[in-house]
Amino acid sequence: MAPMGIRLSPLGMAVFCLLGLGVLYHLYSGFLAGRFAFFMLGEPEAARGPAGTVDLRELLAVSVEAAARGGEEVRRVREGNVLNEKAKGKTREGAEEKLTSGDLLSNRRMFHLLRAAFPGVQINSEEHVDATDQETVSWDRSIPEYIKEKIQSKEVPAESVTVWIDPLDATQEYTEDLRQYVTTMVCVAVNGKPVIGVIHKPFSAYTAWAMVDGGSNVKARSTYNEKNPRIIVSRSHAGKVEQVARQTFGNKTVIIPAGGAGYKVLALLDVPEKNQEEADVYIHVTYIKKWDICAGNAVLRALGGHMTTLAGEEISYTGSDGNEGGLIASINMNHKALIEKLPNLEKTSHK
């Protein structure tokens, strides 16, 4: 005797179909929404590479763009002379830290551009980003030819990447209208090591960029003086460094007081800027924030140079946002020998 067949009523069939459609909607709604968003924004789905990775060449391109856009805000505020200057606290040395509209507007533009382009990447910035600010800043994901010519595509896990933004380096000098010292900077670190550095000078539109094991648009100078180096330091630290440096290298040693960590790194390089001073060594003898130094560290590493603590330790760009051990930076010099010659400077970094 044949088994009895099972027949669904029209109502049962309808319920079954609705359940099936519900499951399909749950599985594919996110995918379809993503495709729709890419269509509306004009961003190709494959632009971010395989799931969970980012392309360092793309990250370099958007970092250059972010530094330039931030620089536009910095320049506009300064030229309009409406800085809205105020104090945001004091440094460990007791100096007043200043905040201006240039800092805030540059930070807003840079942060939102980088966040929109790479939403899965950690971004650390000097200034606070208002969580309620939902500004949309688009990037067309185009890579300039000058980057394509020198840099190959390279995918890395998104979770290994940290971006450091300095939206206005040398704020003190900015308020004093010492424009040559002012920069905007972006750095990309992978597993704590700086691999991409961008230093932009808003008032001349000059940008230096480099990628470790990739390429750069800047190079080291042809000559450096190890015997009587020109040492560039913060304006407030010149006295501390001068005494130790001249005891070590002699009275012919030149101390160059300057503002801004970005400016000081550029002083070590071959930079086509009429207001850019030249130095052989950059020294900082106190605590300094990582967004101040990460971009310069990456540029130097890409060119074969060094930036370490005064004790010669590598600086990690993960964890806390500060570097406790001061720094010494050089290129095409015996970096280890410099550190050994200046042991007393390491002691001053903890005072």
Domain boundaries, the chain: 53-218, 220-341
Q: pTM of this prediction?
A: 0.83
Q: Is residue 166 marked as binding?
A: yes
pLDDT cut 90: percent of the chain above it: 67
Question: Please, are residues 267 and 232 in contact by the beta-carbon 8 Å criterion?
Answer: yes
Q: Mind listing the pLDDT tens digit for each residue in 144-171?
A: 999 999 999 999 999 999 999 999 999 9
* Domain 53-218 class in CATH: alpha beta
Q: What is residue 90's predicted lDDT score, i.e. its pLDDT?
A: 58
As a whole number of angstroms, the distance between CA 201 and CA 208 comes to 9
Q: Torsions phi, psi of 300, nearest 5?
A: -60, -45
Measured distance CA(315)–CA(238) in Å, rounded: 23
Q: Does residue 140 surpass a pLDDT of 70?
A: yes
* Residue length of the chain: 351
Mean pLDDT lowest for which of 71-85, 169-183, 205-219, 245-259? 245-259
Identify the pLDDT of residue 328: 96
Q: What is the DSSP string of 318-348?
A: SSSSEETT-EEEESSS-HHHHHHH-HHHHHH
**pLDDT confidence bin for 195, thresholds 50/70/90:** very high
* Cα separations in angstroms, 153 against 60, 97, 138, 164, 238: 10, 40, 21, 21, 42
So which residues are the catalytic ones?
103, 171
> Helix, strand, coil proportions of the chain in percent (round to 5)?
40, 25, 35
SS3 207: strand
126 is in an annotated binding site: yes
Query: Given this chain, do its domains 53-218 and 220-341 carry the same CATH topology?
Result: no
Tens-digit pLDDT profile for residues 97-113 = 889 999 999 999 999 99
CA–CA gap between residue 167 and residue 55 (Å, rounded): 23
Mean pLDDT of 24-53: 43
- Is 280 annotated for ligand binding? no
Dihedral Cα 351, 307, 98, 201, nearest 10 deg: 160
Mean pLDDT of 319-333: 94
**What pLDDT sits at residue 240?**
80
274 or 11: which leads in pLDDT: 274
CATH class label, 220-341: alpha beta
pLDDT for 42 beyond 90: no
Contacts with 237 (C-beta within 8 Å, 6 or more apart), sequence order: 283, 284, 285, 286
Residue 303 has pLDDT above 90, yes or no: yes
Work out the pLDDT band at 37, boundaries 50, 70, 90. very low
Instruction: Answer whether residue 29 shows pLDDT above 70.
Output: no
Q: Is 273 annotated as a binding residue?
A: no
pLDDT more than 70, % of the chain: 80
Is 277 part of any known ligand binding site? no
More confident residue, 286 or 17: 286
State in Å, rounded, how far the first CA of the chain is from the last one: 98
Handedness of CA 62, 308, 168, 112 (dihedral sign): positive
Q: According to the 3-state scheme, what is the secondary structure of 130-167? A: CCCCCCCCCCCCCCCHHHHCCCCCCEEEHHHEEEEEEE
The per-residue pLDDT for 131 is: 66
What sign results for the dihedral spanned by CA atoms 256, 77, 203, 122? positive
Confidence bin at 26 (pLDDT 50/70/90): very low
Q: What pLDDT does residue 236 have?
A: 86
pLDDT in the model for residue 32: 38
Highest mean pLDDT among 44-58, 246-260, 290-304: 290-304
Provide CB contacts within 8 A for 243, sequence distance 6+. Answer: none
Cβ density class 326-344: b for 16+ within 10 Å, e for less: bbbbbbbbebeebbebbee
User: How high is the pLDDT of residue 38?
Assistant: 35
pLDDT value for 348 = 54
255-275: average pLDDT: 96
Give the CA radius of gyration of the chain.
25
Give me the chain's average pLDDT, please. 85
CA distances from 206 to 61, 134, 175, 275, 290 (A): 15, 30, 21, 12, 22
Q: Are 310 and 343 in contact (CB under 8 A)?
A: no
pLDDT digits (tens, 9 = 90+) for 198-249: 999 999 999 999 999 999 999 999 999 988 899 999 998 888 888 888 888 8
